[in-house]
Structure 1
Amino acid sequence: MTTKNIQLLRVTHLRGPNIWTYRPVIEAWVDIGALEDFPSNTIPGFYERLTAMLPGLAVHRCGVGAPGGFLERLRAGTWAAHILEHVVLELQNLAGMRTGFGKTRQTSVRGVYKMAFRTRQEQVGRAALDTGRDLVMAAINDQPYDQAAAVARLHDLVDSLCLGPSTAHIVEAATERGIPHLRLTEGNLVQLGHGAGQRRIWTAETDQTSAIAEEIASDKDLTKSLLQSCGVPVPQGQVVNSAQEAWEAAQDIGLPVALKPYDGNHGRGVSLDLKNQKDIEAAFLLAQRKGGGSVIVEQFIAGNEHRLLVVGKRVVAAARGETAWVTGDGRSNIIELVDRQINTDPRRGTGEDAPLNSLAPQDGAEIILELERQGLTAYSVPALGEKVLIQRNGNVAFDVTDLVHPSVAAAATLAARVVGLDVAGVDLVLEDVSRPLTEQRGAVIEVNASPGLLAHLKPADGQPRPIGKAIIEHLFGTDKTGRIPVVGVTGTRDTTRIARLVGWLVHISGRQVGVACRDGFYLGARQVDSRDSTPWDAAQRLLVNRSLETAVFENSSRMILSEGLPYDKCSVGVVTDVGGMEALAEFHIDHMDKLYNVVRTQIDVILPHGTAVLNAADPQVVEMASLCDGKIIFYGPDPQLEAIAAHRAKGERALFVRDGQIVLAQGMQEAAVIALASMKPAKAEKPDMLMAAVAAAWALGIDPELIAAGLRAFESDLKKQN
């Protein structure tokens, strides 16, 4: 079949809540051209080719709501844009970035569809979209396509661009608690929460992790000295700068000894159980090469290496290490034995997802040295039944959290506190982690800042531990969400002035407030930027500002369609009207129902304890009340409006105008009145604007008397107010 290619007319990353969903998506406008006349069931062999390329499509639910739903649609006949949606989702999943949300809708232009799909990283999502288009066309036209290579390229992008597994785990734990997050860099620096309620993490470091504590942890000799002075058992040791000094120190300390780089980490350059001068001098050279400086010689403690993860004041996970051995068969060299007996373990690999590392006896310096101590090389052929030690340390990935004796946990938490780390990986050598420390020759050998979490999240053996939850509880306690009150104002009627007025009322109440609107960017009563600050990037400045206690945003329908809202949830959402459709024609918004779905986005994101402020004089705005998870405050020019009267009858809040006054009513009781005559004429002429702002301030808990005073003092003229 001859067809023109699927064309991507427009691709937009919607970074916040949007018309499709609450989370970031990529929206693509897809022109399928002549394929509009060829649904999937009319293309010979297409079903078989596509499912052979991507067998995982079998679990996609689609509109049927059960696994296999998409394949059912594919057999019955569906169109190329819808197929592309599912292919892109599957490609992202195969690349290691789990996603599941997607929707495709026709536009008023024949053959042109709007398709949206969830993505956790924009560049990966865009690459998956391009790859998906090529794959679908290859399946349609019965052309060869190397989907494995394509998935590998996407997987590389995921590895390089997405959050690392440890950071992602913490972020997921925050999301489960309702704590929002913002990625501040292309790396793993993440803000949890907003404004003054925020905290920051960088993998296993937090904004409570002291730079001084990190320096202490990196100075192993100082760490050991501090621990020893506080009664934490540590091996006797000495810092040396030459192989001769290492041998002399070993004799003073007493054989056997261990050598490690002064500035090393992750077990690199560590040699254990050294008993003679030759091995000690060779181990010194290895440690110096790996660390680039001084070397520590210390007493060797017999036992298994253990890593205890301390968060705050408690041990939240523990893992044990195991030595790695091979057994000779009389024919194979050590490289071959390691590949067959060790590296075939599915838990081993070279990526971050593997709890155990694959071993390369011919390349790993520590393994080469260990083999030399046994008189072997990587190419030696051990005799039948001969056991060869490949790795003494490392492999600390066998969960023993439930076995940790309280005295061992107490030593680990004390060690973390002595160094000053709020999150620490404390390494101990122990014979048995379940026995009291006093009954065995155990010792703390290192305290590590920014510890790796993967061994506890994906252990080689045992139960994964909820590290993210522990870190979130450490940062936020058990009930805080890191949120500050966020107010969003949407519509076409005086939304800029409403946003500024709400900001002013919050300001005079004594709270630190920021406003992002078309008039600019405000902190308190001061305009700090006169440029339009409604775009997503400009508005985000409010959420990252650590001094702000409240943030106010003006949001247009155009912004919702082109970028999404700049926040995930809000405390107060104001909707003035459903209008301005003529300005949105380029987005295929050609019917009031479509415009309604754009504007309702503001209401969809209101928190359960939040409030929607709705114009009771606009029937479409009134309809949005049923969409709100929180409370409703209606406002309007007449108390007899049906929405206001019914709302008051239920005991709820409403604002209306009567006898030249704005009345704030709670049910049938009038909580306060504000005389329009006390306002300056320019403001008094716009009671709807005033009521919307007053209702938002009231929803934020500001006293009506203070609101009235603030209305009289507010100046929309920047020169007068500044």
Structure 2
Amino acid sequence: MTTKNIQLLRVTHLRGPNIWTYRPVIEAWVDIGAFEDYPSNTLPGFYERLTAMLPGLALHRCGVGAPGGFLERLREGTWVAHILEHVVLELQNLAGMRTGFGKTRQTSVRGVYKMAFRTRQEQVGRAALEAGRELVMAAIEDQPYDMAAAVGRLHDMVDSLCLGPSTAHIVEAATARGIPHLRLTDGNLVQLGHGAFQRRIWTAETDQTSAIAEEIASDKDLTKSLLQSCGVPVPQGQVVNSAEEAWEAAQDIGLPVALKPYDGNHGRGVSLDLNNQKDIEAAFVLAARKGDGSVIVEQYIAGNEHRLLVVGKRVVAAARGEAAWVTGDGHANIIELVDSQINSDPRRGTGEDDPLNALAPQDGAEIILELERQGLTAYSVPASGEKVLIQRNGNVAFDVTDQVHPSVAAAATLAARVVGLDVAGVDLVLEDVSRPLVEQRGAVIEVNASPGLLAHLKPASGQPRPIGQAIIEHLFGVDKKGRIPVVGVTGSQNTTRIARLIAWLLHINGNKVGLACRDGFYLGARQVQAFDSSHWDDAQHLLINRAVDAAVFENDARMILSEGLAYDKCSVGVVTDVSGFESLTEFHIDDLDKLYNVLRTQVDVILPHGTAVLNADDPRVVAMAPLCDGEVIFYGRDPQQDAIRTHQAEGGRVLFVQGAQIVLAHSMNEVAQISLAALKPAKSEKPDMVMAAVAAAWAAGVPPELIAAGLRAFESDPKKKS
């Protein structure tokens, strides 16, 4: 506490809803030492140096709620832990991982703060935190800091560790629909939805994408044969394995022709409008080198290349390509002309965010061959006014979706269906995409599985298309959200037994139930593992399991504080009590109010059509009722308890004990009674536990008469795996 330094005492990735927010965050415990006595307005030159390093901080709203709010706090005086929060957020933004949520709160220990910030990838977030600490210290001490290098390292991490832009776009569309997602690998394999209602995507592939269809699409000759047999116009073509065969095939087909690798993609190795033996043989060498050796020679179709994206049974986007030309000035060579006339376009570059590729005439084999056909090299100096063709194909990034003629769209969707792809990129050569297909010499030249989406998400011109929304509608229809019923149980009183009893009642109702609790991991009535499974990883296993159509989770305060909830939302949330903060002092939870803020997380995540099951005998649990977006069911021993009487009067559902009966009531109407005498002794002695489980099952749609039968049949000892 005497040094002017920033120490990170503890860094935790909270992977699910937590005390800070509904989304994953990194929580850092920050000891600012002697800086506790030196807010930002007491550090000479700090404001100027920090804002010069990170001018984007001017957009941070902070507590003021408007851009510039954070700078106002910085001028007035705020503490370095809070400053670090904003610096880390800005570093992530600069690295291409947009985020905005952060909070910093002082603990009961002087100079120690809890700071949380949103991150979309744990390793990137941790690296940004460390870089932010170094940056803040450099700004305080007036030391140099290599901002470009730091952001560059983070940007590289974002590129290698985060979801690709196409996958991320689909996930964002799912999130906007309220569909949860789980990343299943370090790559782009993502689960949308939970359990039995889940779907999976892998970039632009879905779990409906047939492996057979992918194989057909990769065999260009077979694809053309199938398309032709179904009436889709395709260019006449032939597979060859030598330059001599290529020339012979070209003569049979008729000049001009096009050559491309048999198994190529992205336009690599493609040569167009070939009219003589020399050019055809040179094009064969290029195509063979870019593929597996086999080459397709096919009829050349005049026009521009178009990519139509088919999702399900409709075209959802279309883009046109354009040839690239330069005009000579009599002084500059072709490399210089390309740089000044083509690569100077801000839309061109080498990254995924660039809709058009930068061209390198001295390195691109296709461009070199095109120039040779014109008697030129990359170092030739064209005469003033002379036009030179640099690239015939490529640049398929100019949006024409609204111009597509219905007959062109019909040909594209038919081509996708013939191949068998649910998501396909159909390449056509057309003179005019807005004209009927029969009025022009158009043809389908390829059908591609796992098509690139960026040309439609970030076109060089025209508006971006909602591809993700179309794919989500294809997978889930217009209203499904891929959610199974999820029940969460939180508190410290009999929560394991409550969770097991809820799972049993759902099981006898016909659900395929998964349960993760302290007693173990269950599928139906069978105990799969016997050790404590009330943790994030075990809980995720339930959500991944395609056989599960309902899931029950036991969550204690320690799990919420150290891992976060395993699910983003739930159908039913049970809170038994707010007690036992004494075991959580290591988390700076040292009174019941702080524990309340932890346990309320369970209520915060209840869906609008869901239900909170709350213990009416605990005032702090009762206080959580207004936090619930859905319905509330109170349970308690005394029917005259204030919370129960008021809730009944307002038309709500309640449970209470009356004589030897548990009474289920809706408003002032009794729905059912369950005899405590009929229960096994271990349960009849704990009516609170039974009422919590019964209320949760009732909320989940289990009929009261089936609940009563289920209670009589419940076995305390689990059936272990054989």
Establish whether TM, by shorter chain, passes 0.5: yes
2: CA distance between counterparts of 1:579 and 1:491?
A: 8
Q: Pairwise mapping of residues 592-607 of structure 1 onto structure 2 (< 5 A)?
A: 592-607=592-607
Cα distance, 1:336 vs structure 2: 1.1
- Secondary structure of 2:249's counterpart equals helix
- 1:627 corresponds in structure 2 to 627
In structure 2, relative to structure 1, the CA distance for the partners of 1:721 and 1:133 (3 Å cut) is closer
Query: Is structure 2 residue 483 aligned with structure 1 residue 483?
Result: yes
User: What pairs up with 1:281-320 in 2 under 5 angstroms?
Assistant: 281-320=281-320
Q: Give the direction of change, closer, same or farther, for the CA distance of 1:720–1:351 in structure 2 (3 Å limit).
A: closer
- RMSD over aligned Cα atoms: 0.9
| 1:576 counterpart = 2:576 | yes
CA contact (8 A) 1:92 1:125 kept: yes
Residue pairs, 1:355-374, within 5 angstroms = 355-374=355-374
CA contact (8 A) 1:57 1:71 kept: yes
In structure 2, the residue matched to 1:225 is 225
The 3-state SS of whatever aligns with 2:208 is coil
Aligned pairs for 1:129-148 (under 5 A) are 129-148=129-148
> By how many angstroms is 1:531 displaced?
1.5
Partner of 1:609, secondary structure, is strand
Q: Does 1:589 align with 2:589?
A: yes
Change (3 A) 1:3 1:147: farther
Deviations 1:152-208 (A, max 9, x none): 111110001010010000000000000000000000000000001100000000000
Any residues of structure 2 matched to 1:322-721 within 5 Å, and which?
A: 322-718=322-718
In structure 1, distance between residues paired with 2:22 and 2:82: 21
- 2-side partners of 1:717 and 1:194: how far apart? 29
SS in 2 for 1:448: strand
SS at match of 1:634: strand
Q: Is the contact between residue 527 and residue 719 of structure 2 (CA under 8 Å) also seen in structure 1?
A: no
Give the equivalent residue in structure 2 for 1:166: 166
> Contact conserved, 1:715 with 1:721, CA < 8 A, in 2?
no
C-alpha displacement at 1:534, in angstroms? 1.0
Provide, for residues 508-534 of structure 1, a one-character-per-residue CA deviation record: whole Å limited to 9, x for no partner.
111111000000000000000111111
User: Structure 2: which 5+ runs fail to align?
Assistant: none
Q: Distance in 1 between matches of 2:166 and 2:520?
A: 38
Shift of 1:149: 1.2
Kept after mapping to 2: 8 A contact 1:179/1:482 = yes
Aligned residue number for residue 102 of structure 1: 102
TM-score (norm 2): 0.99
Q: Is the 8 A contact 1:105 1:115 kept in 2?
A: yes
In the alignment, which residue of structure 1 is the partner of 2:247? 247
8 Å contact kept, 2:311–2:422 = yes
Distance 1:390 1:404 in 2: 27
Q: 2 CA distance for matches of 1:382 and 1:159?
A: 40
Report the 3-state secondary structure (helix = DSSP H, G, I; strand = E; otherwise coil) of the residue aligned with 1:614.
strand
Instruction: Report the counterpart of residue 120 of structure 1 in structure 2.
Output: 120
> How big is the shift at 1:656?
0.5
Q: Which moved more, 1:343-352 or 1:306-315?
A: 343-352
Does the CA-based 8 Å contact 2:243-2:280 persist in structure 1? yes
Q: CA deviation at 1:148?
A: 1.3
Q: How many angstroms apart in 1 are the aligned matches of 2:680 and 2:464?
A: 64
Tell me the amino acid that sits aligned with residue 530 of structure 2.
S
Partner of 2:44: 44
For the 8 Å contact 1:14–1:24, the answer to whether it is kept is yes
Structure 1 gaps of 5+ residues are none
Write the letter of the residue equivalent to 1:341: Q
Paired residue type of 1:717: D
SS in 1 for 2:117: strand
Comparing 590-599 and 315-324, the one that deviates more: 590-599
Mapped contact 2:527–2:720 kept (Cα < 8 A): no
Q: Are residue 211 (structure 1) and residue 211 (structure 2) matched?
A: yes
**Cα distance in 2 between the residues matched to 1:375 and 1:721:** 76
Partner of 1:151: 151
Name the aligned partner's letter for residue 604 of structure 1: D
Counterpart of 1:504, as a letter, is W
Q: Find the aligned partners of 1:409 and 1:355 in 2 and give their Cα distance.
A: 23
Q: Distance in 1 between matches of 2:719 and 2:613?
A: 30
Quote the Cα distance in structure 2 between the aligned partners of 1:558 and 1:289: 59
| Residue type at the aligned position of 1:91 | L
Counterpart of 1:328, as a letter, is G
- 1:9 Cα deviation from its structure 2 partner: 0.3
Identical residues among aligned pairs (%): 86
1:7 has 2:19 as partner = no
SS class of match (2:417): helix
- Checking the alignment, whether the CA contact within 8 Å between 2:528 and 2:720 is kept in structure 1 is no
On the 8 A contact 2:513/2:549 being kept in 1, the answer is yes
Deviation sequence 1:224-258 (CA, Å, 0-9, x none): 00000000000000000000000000000000000
The structural deviation recorded for 1:721 is 11
Is 1:61 aligned to residue 25 of structure 2? Answer: no
Tell me the distance in 2 between the aligned counterparts of 1:3 and 1:70.
26
Superposition deviation, residue 717 in structure 1: 1.1
Q: Measure the CA separation in 2 of the matches of 1:139 and 1:178.
A: 42
- Answer yes or no: is the 8 Å Cα contact 2:655–2:695 preserved in 1: yes
User: C-alpha distance in 2, partners of 1:313/1:410?
Assistant: 9
Please give the per-residue CA displacement for 1:282-328, whole angstroms capped at 9, x wherever unaligned: 11111111012210000000000000000000000000000001111
Structure 1: distance between partners of 2:346 and 2:126: 32
* Alignment correspondent of 2:266: 266
Indicate if the aligned counterparts of 1:307 and 1:320 stay in contact, CA closer than 8 A: yes
Q: CA deviation at 1:421?
A: 0.2
Q: Quote the offset at 1:720 in angstroms.
A: 9.1
* 3-state SS of paired residue (2:623): helix
Q: Which amino acid aligns with 1:716?
A: S
Residue identity matched to 1:650: E
Are the counterparts in 2 of residues 318 and 399 from structure 1 also a CA contact under 8 Å? yes
| Inter-partner Cα distance in structure 1 for 2:523 and 2:717 | 16
**Alpha-carbon displacement from aligned partner over 1:431-462 (angstroms, at most 9, x marks no partner):** 00000000000000000000000000000000
Give the AA of the match of 1:608. Answer: P
Q: Is the 8 A contact 1:525 1:721 kept in 2?
A: no
For 1:483 and 1:7, the matched residues in 2 are separated by 42
More off after superposition, 474-483 vs 588-597: 588-597
Amino acid at match of 2:124: V
State yes or no: 1:276 paired with 2:272. Answer: no
Matched AA of 1:244: E
Tell me how many residue pairs correspond in the alignment.
Answer: 721
Deviations 1:370-393 (A, max 9, x none): 111111111111111111111100
Contact 2:634 2:644 in 1 (8 A): yes
SS in 2 for 1:678: coil
Please give the TM-score of this superposition, normalised by the length of structure 1.
Answer: 0.99
In 1, are the aligned partners of 2:307 and 2:320 still within 8 Å (CA)? Answer: yes
Mark the CA change 1:720 to 1:297 in structure 2 (over 3 Å): closer, same or farther: closer
**8 Å CA contact retained: 2:530, 2:720:** no
